Amino acid sequence: MRFGKNIVDGIFLERPNRYLARILVDGQETLAHVPDPGRLPGLMIPQRKVRLIHNPGPKRKTDYTLALVRHGDIWVSVYPVFANALIEDALLRRNLPEFEGFIKIKREVKMGDSRFDFRIDFASGPLYLEVKSVSHVEECVGKFPDAPTKRGSKHLQELIALKQSGLRSAVMFVSQRSDTVSVSSNDDIDPEFGILLRQARDEGVELYAYNCSVTRNEISLNHRLPVVLKNA
């Protein structure tokens, strides 16, 4: 997935709140929207190179959206919706062997008290899929979440209930960086999510993960990763 011609370079200065960043673009200070409200530990460091999508509009508070942060010798995407777009593109191209043989897909499907990212229909019945974007990595392990997520826990509870009712359900973790070799729950940050993810695994909810190849100009799914959950 290419970012297009509206992506520009900048230098990160400060994050006054979780939705805003102060950035230098062409030597001029400006504000950019931060689409990932998580803590983004290890990434939002002053003087880091960043890439921004320039998309001004009358209803926007800022002309820019933060998309990529330079971290050592790699680019890291901090744009969560890219994860959904990558999975949708891979499904449409029939490039995800985990879901081989599906008949059709539908996005943003309401089921119970939740809205899931995808419903994937097979001849045997539907599968409900929730996609989670992973940006935080410790010693090559992608850790989700990087801030407490009641919404994420609610999704897990609903996916468990769907599986218990006889339907397939799954979580797809997408680490939008190339240095991730496995994905796990971030139990120090959100122990409830970790407990529910282990329960989901034990109940038969399908857990998948991929890392990404990220360059200045594009992002793509790279390698499938194991989801490794240590005993609590």
Nearest Cα neighbor of 7 from 51, 71, 73 is 51
Distance between CA atoms of 159 and 206, rounded to whole angstroms? 10
Q: Encoding tokens for residue 190? A: 């959100």
Q: In tens digits, what is the pLDDT along the chain, a chain of 232 residues?
A: 999 889 999 999 999 999 999 999 999 999 999 999 989 999 999 999 999 999 888 888 899 999 999 999 999 999 999 999 999 999 999 999 999 999 999 999 998 778 999 999 999 999 999 999 999 999 999 999 999 999 999 999 999 999 999 999 999 999 999 999 999 999 999 999 999 999 999 999 999 999 999 999 999 999 999 999 987 5
Nearest Cα neighbor of 155 from 220, 147, 163 is 163
Other beta carbons less than 10 A from residue 88's beta carbon: 15
Nearest Cα neighbor of 4 from 62, 50, 51 is 51
Domains of the chain, earliest start first: 7-73 (2.40.50.580), 81-225 (3.40.1350.60)
- The answer, as to whether pTM is greater than 0.85, is yes
